[in-house]
Chain A
Amino acid sequence: MANPIEVEGLTKTFKVPVRDTGMKESVRSLFRRDFKEVRAVEDITFQLTPGEIVGFLGPNGAGKTTTIKMLTGLLHPSTGDARVLGYQPWQRDRDLLRRISLVMGQRNNLAWDLPALDSFALNQAIYGIPDEDFRFRQAKYIETLDLGELVTKPVRNLSLGERMKMEIVGALLHGPEVLFLDEPTIGLDVTMQRRLRNFVLEYNRETGATVLLTSHYMADVVALARRVIVIDRGAILFDGPLTSLADRFSAHKKLTIEAADLPEDVSRWGRVLERTPFRVVLEVARESVSTVAAQMLSEATVTDLSIEEPPLEDVIDRVFTRASDDRAKN
């Protein structure tokens, strides 16, 4: 089966008017406008295979939302091509729109003043969902997310978390094969984030739908995606398994040692992150981890030792810092 999402050399450039301050400039700007070209997305290429869940990571303004907009037909690319289920999204073919779904965090498609149930009924009419499919899915989702009494309350009376649950339900009633999630858990508390993630995972498992997810929260990405695409300033920096992300970008690992007879000075083994009489946490260069560990085991009576990858947030942070440092140098 063909890839549900194919992106080839996709580029999007915006023309932004340049406005200078000062009286003379304001007058000039009435007659002639200067424009600056902003490359929001620059020549990106990637594919998603059926049933894949891919996380799209990047700082604000990296081009994630621009890419999603191009893939959902909201934006025309400047050059390049993209196919979703074989269609070019910006042609906005009805048949394509019936088979995909876009959920953006903190936005609502549901009628604000009415109970969610009414909006679901409207969705059934919009997507032409057959009655049994509709009833079955609606009942199932309501039960899974425990929305029983909430579906009859006007949407405006729901908390942000409850509203997002409704949004997701509304987005999945028509059984889309491709799901785009743009910052879906933003502003939600931890429990709610987890509920939503599990729901998406379950949907993916049961229907084999393909999911492209952007998020600020590493927890979202770690929980849902096996593969990440890291984007910064419109260009792809990394496209591969999540587990390789740290390998690729982080030079260090975190080593935690507990021993009753730790030496005073442990700085020769690595950078000290934390130190108490019987416990030390060190940042050690990746290549040296086994040697350092062996040394410590021989020099102290170690009762506990653990080796961890640095938190992915730090890794990503470093990726972006390094990227902008590289840019600054050039």
Chain B
Amino acid sequence: MSDRPAGPVRLALLHWRIGALNEMQYRLNFWVQLFNSAIALATGLIAIALVYGHTTSLGGWSQSQLLAVMGVHIAIGGILKTLIQPNMNRLMQDVQEGTLDYALTRPADSQLMVSVKEVSLWSAVDVVLGLGVVAWAANDLRGDIGLTHAAGFVFALTCGAAIIYAIWLSVSTLSFKIIRTDSMMQLLNGIYEAGRWPVTVYPGFLRATLTFLIPLAFAVTVPAETITAKINWWMVAIGFGVTVLALVGARAVWRWGISNYSGASA
């Protein structure tokens, strides 16, 4: 047993392991999750089929390409539901009830503590399903895609997940000041739904909002672009820049939040 406190990666892995082991007991939840995810996937596929029953190109995207967008959306949604949302909900609850002290009185970074404490294991089904859809769509477009695209995809996907994390953390941190933020989380979830479709389908200023204000474009559309050979490597680079900005910004918001924290029951 080392006598140094665990580094951030090890801490994260430890928490996730505990959370996962805990949930493994409830195996029925896996089947329920699979069922619900299957229904959601079927609905999404039907929606796409409906659209492409009336047209061959939506905002410059073919059906297979759109499937890739949906796949990425589901996969990142899965990461959101597995690793991010449980922690954000826990954070807001702790702020409301004044029980955040566990994160603040341990010899580890507070942002890390609140970000890795909870895990919703079975939601990972969505990650698998989403990537499966992406693989299927990529298969349809075979010949256009090579190893560089795949690598670019993984990179863009990681950046996408990081952007989503930064956005969700920042909004949840607002709960330090505005105790009841559930409505805002609901709004965020609604906005995430907009990422189901490529941002090119949205009119002018909505598209701008989803690119610059709440960069869903870089979270969902760009990764989908990489794997469907619509790729513009500049976008991936900018996406990386946006990711860094988002993470730095989220960190700043977090530091501000913590310094404001006084315990809701005071």
Contacts and interface: CB of A to CB of B under 8 A. Distances in A.
Direct touch of chains A and B (CB < 8 A) = yes
Interface of A: 26, 30
B27 interface: yes
Interface of chain A: mostly helix, strand, loop or mixed: helix
B232 to A, nearest CB: 50
Contacts of B28: 30
A26 B25 CA distance: 8
Interface residues on B, range: under 10
Nearest to A21: B25
Contacts of A30: 27-28
B35 to A, nearest CB: 16
Nearest to B28: A30
Interface of B: 25, 27-28
4 contacts: A26-B25, A26-B27, A30-B27, A30-B28
Contacts of B25: 26
A26 B30 CA distance: 14
A133 B27 CA distance: 57
A30 B26 CA distance: 11
B8 to A, nearest CB: 33
A27 B25 CA distance: 11
B150 to A, nearest CB: 38
A30 B25 CA distance: 12
B121 to A, nearest CB: 16
A260 B245 CA distance: 85
A26 B24 CA distance: 11
A26 B26 CA distance: 10
Contacts of B27: 26, 30
B227 to A, nearest CB: 38
A33 B28 CA distance: 14
A12 to B, nearest CB: 28
B243 to A, nearest CB: 41
A26 B27 CA distance: 9
Nearest to B24: A26
A30 B28 CA distance: 9
B196 to A, nearest CB: 35
A9 B25 CA distance: 41
A43 B27 CA distance: 39
A26 B28 CA distance: 11
Contacts of A26: 25, 27
B21 to A, nearest CB: 13
Which 4 A-B pairs rank lowest in CB-CB distance, beginning with the nearest? A26-B27, A30-B27, A26-B25, A30-B28
A82 B28 CA distance: 40
Nearest to A27: B27
B52 to A, nearest CB: 41
Nearest to B25: A26
A33 to B, nearest CB: 12
A2 B22 CA distance: 56
A20 to B, nearest CB: 12
A158 to B, nearest CB: 15
A118 to B, nearest CB: 21
A19 B27 CA distance: 14
A295 to B, nearest CB: 58
